[in-house]
DNA sequence: TTCTTTGCAAACAGTTTGCACCTAT
DNA sequence: ATAGGTGCAAACTGTTTGCAAAGAA
């Protein structure tokens, strides 16, 4: 979990970024900032339906789009058939993704951080965004195999 | 250009991988293995229409899918709205992608190769696939800005 | 009040699929 | 001969959009 945010902090964060603190946005942020999951829009929808059954999938997408534009969250994009996943960790880091069950794990280490700085220096441009994904079977799927 | 392949080599490559060497596949491979571009299915379609006007987009997609399954080519997948790009370079390498014009450049260096091995060791799983994308404005788009 | 956001359904775009015909081996 | 490939159009799916009603500032 990157941040463990409470209601007041969330409202403040939204306002700081020029976003109106609607109930829907608060609930979406509350979930997203307090989980290690990397949920899809649909998964967020289902989670939130418990508390807020009338929320629409278009609102989820719209909120996620807003948060992404403000660089508050990061979108993990895959192929056309697979839905995007979202997470609040916006530091460059590796996502270890299971090709079977699509479970996603964040990976950060000193070696990686040091290494990545060197690479970015070598490339000598200002990166807007970093996507570093390693596809490897998770422990559960490795056993099942 | 990773490989500069001639007709005979392409036919052999297809056969080695248990794929029938149809004319369509030969032409697709011939283009893909002899360019530094990272074309989309649609771009391949347009290029190939010159030589082979009756080819269908479904055939392109099907061939690309086959080549990918045999690990002969690599698919660069983006968001749902953007089409995938394809390239014959299947070694772990960085793709430097321009967020404006979507131009894609392969980047490999000794530093990268050395460190990537270390990182993979640290993670201690057998990766099936690596996706390392850096989004940074290309020179052309930087100027225009 | 004013400007933004919500929520619904319809639209969108890249990709896949079903199926009849064709072709490489 | 026959397993596998092609090509068309229709289907699929995650995401976006237009618009009227509701809500935050």
- Looking at residue A100, its pLDDT comes to 86
CA atom of B8 to C1′ atom of C17, Å: 32
pLDDT beyond 70 at A3: no
What domains appear along chain A, each with residue ranges and CATH number? Answer: 7-76 (1.10.10.10), 91-144 (3.30.1490.190)
Q: List A96's β-bridge partners, or say none.
A: A105, A134
Question: Which residues of A fall within a CB distance of 8 Å from B134?
Answer: 120, 123, 125, 127, 129-131
Q: Does residue B53 lie within 7 Å of nucleic acid chain D, judged by its CB?
A: no
pLDDT at B18: 96
> What does pLDDT average to over chain B?
92
> Can you give the distance from the CA of residue A77 to the C1' of nucleotide C5 in angstroms?
25
pLDDT tens figures, A116-135: 999 999 999 999 999 999 99
Calculate mean pLDDT across residues A60-71: 96
Q: Which of residues 44-83 of A touch strand D (CB under 7 A)?
A: 57-58, 61-62, 65, 80-83
Q: Which pLDDT belongs to residue B30?
A: 96
Q: Is A57 helix (H, G, I), strand (E, B) or coil?
A: helix
The yes-or-no verdict on residue A85 having pLDDT over 90 is yes
Whole-prediction pTM: 0.90
**Percent above pLDDT 90 for chain A:** 79
- What pLDDT is stored for residue A44 in this prediction? 97
pLDDT value at B62 more than 90: yes
Are A101 and A138 contacting, i.e. CB atoms less than 8 angstroms apart? yes
CA neighbor of B97 nearest in space, from B112, B111, B110, B82: B82
- The answer to whether strand D lies under 7 Å from the CB of residue B22 is yes
Scanning B1-145, the segments in alpha helix (DSSP H) are 7-16, 23-33, 41-49, 57-69, 110-123, 139-144
Structure token digits, residue A126: 């200002």
Q: How far apart are CA A134 and CA A85, in angstroms?
A: 15
The whole-number pLDDT of residue B100 equals 87
Structure confidence by residue, pLDDT tens digits, B76-114 = 998 777 999 999 999 999 999 998 888 999 999 999 999
pLDDT score for B2? 55
Q: How far is the CA of B69 from the C1' of D1 (A)?
A: 28
pLDDT exceeds 70 at position B144: no
Residue B142's pLDDT band (cuts 50, 70, 90): confident
Q: Does the pLDDT of residue B41 top 60, yes or no?
A: yes
């Amino acid at each position: 979990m990157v941040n463990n945010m409470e209601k007041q902090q969330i409202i403040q964060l939204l306002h700081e970024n020029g976003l109106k603190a609607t109930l829907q946005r608060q609930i979406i942020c509350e979930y997203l900032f307090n989980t290690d999951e990397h949920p899809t829009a649909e998964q967020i929808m289902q989670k939130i339906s418990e508390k807020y059954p009338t929320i629409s999938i278009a609102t989820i997408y719209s909120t996620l789009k807003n948060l992404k534009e403000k660089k508050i969250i990061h979108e993990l994009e895959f192929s056309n058939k697979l839905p995007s996943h979202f997470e609040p960790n916006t530091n460059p880091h590796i996502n270890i993704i299971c090709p079977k069950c699509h479970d996603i794990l964040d990976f950060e280490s000193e070696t990686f951080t040091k290494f990545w700085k060197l690479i970015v220096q070598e490339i000598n441009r200002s990166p807007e965004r970093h996507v570093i994904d390693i596809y490897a079977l998770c422990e559960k799927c490795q056993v099942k195999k």
